[in-house]
Amino acid sequence: MALITISGYPCSGKTRRAHQIKAALERRLEDPSYAGPQLKVVIVSDDTLNISRDAYKDSRSEKPARGALFTAMQRAMGQDTILIVDAMNYIKGFRYQMYCAAREQRLRVCTVYVVATQDLVKEWNISRTDGKPYVQETLDNLLMRFEEPSSMVRWDSPLITVPWLDEDIPADDIWKAVTEGNVKPPNAGTQAVPKAPTDALRALEATTTAMVAAIMAEQAASGGLGGPVTLSLPDDVKTSVALPARSITLSELQRTKRQFVAVNKKAITLGTTEKGALDWSEGSIAQKFAAYIEENIRP
């Protein structure tokens, strides 16, 4: 039915808010005046999956943790469920991936941004009552890497922000988003979606690989000045991309590429895509990957 993605700093009160949301939704679902379908409210979190705080120590151990969260989330999503994903969800690309997964299942979505200042979360980390604090260094690191949700991008909206001073959550807004919000355009099932060409997967891999190489070459040539550049790819494909004014590392680019490929691979194999975007030509893939890089590579 719906996916509620929580996002926020470590120790910002996400779990506390998740339980407030769950309780508020259950109250409404049990109210005699509620005439909608029977729904259950489920929370998936690091704690429910037994993922230790140590997993966030470095990106190598974080990856499988994020994978486990994504798998659990996909398993728990459904038409009879309001799913709350209580985790930091601090990577834009990851939120995008969850959004795509929710859309495939035709769920309503909303993002709840739990806000507290960095000073407060450091304080609360020390005084946590569940005995599961983050190591100071990990906490600092996460605060630095955090990619704030934005109401301007479709995968974070509607965005509901809950500041630390608020005693309660804006239950009406959340209820509205999960029961009345737009279900994004229908996909397979109700509409005949043309299957992507069988070589779309190959084009996806080859084009993104070529772009990673072209960006690395461009950076080596310019010394990482950034700004808009035109990349020449095989088969006379050209695409422009705005690069940040710093050297992007190869591993950073490859990570971004893998995220992009994973998301789109799914779309290709399921035959579901963004509205109107059924074009898996090299040029179109290059354009999409360029946009994805601009949105997901830190400035």
User: Which residues would be at the binding site for ligand ADP (CB under 6 A)?
Assistant: 8, 10-16, 124, 128-129, 164
Minimum CB separation of residue 136 from Mg ion in Å reads 18
Q: Is the peptide bond before 158 cis (omega within 30 degrees of 0)?
A: yes
Q: Are strands 227-233 and 237-243 parallel, antiparallel or unpaired?
A: antiparallel
**Residue range at the interface with Mg ion (CB under 5 A); choices 13-21, 66-74, 77-85, 229-237:** 13-21
Q: Which is nearer to ligand ADP, 89 or 264 (CB)?
A: 89
Q: Which residue is nearest to Mg ion (CB)?
A: 15
Minimum CB separation of residue 117 from ligand ADP in Å reads 11
Q: Is 208 in the site for Mg ion (CB under 5 A)?
A: no
Question: Number of residues in contact with Mg ion, rule: CB under 5 A?
Answer: 2
Strand spans (E) along the chain: 2-8, 40-45, 81-86, 108-115, 159-163, 227-233, 237-243
Q: Which is nearer to Mg ion, 18 or 278 (CB)?
A: 18
**Residue range at the interface with Mg ion (CB under 5 A); choices 8-16, 53-61, 140-148, 222-230:** 8-16
CA torsion, points 190, 36, 42, 75, in degrees to nearest 10?
Answer: -20
Minimum CB separation of residue 51 from ligand ADP in Å reads 12
Cα dihedral across residues 63, 78, 150, 133: positive or negative: negative
Q: Which residue has the tokens 């080859």?
A: 206
Pair of tokens at residue 295? 């949105």
Q: Is 256 in the site for Mg ion (CB under 5 A)?
A: no
Contacts of 180 (CB under 8 A, 6+ apart): none
Minimum CB separation of residue 173 from ligand ADP in Å reads 18
Minimum CB separation of residue 21 from ligand ADP in Å reads 12
What is the C-alpha separation between 10 and 133, in angstroms, rounded? 9
Q: Is 15 in the site for Mg ion (CB under 5 A)?
A: yes
Give the residues lining the site for Mg ion (CB under 5 A). Answer: 14-15
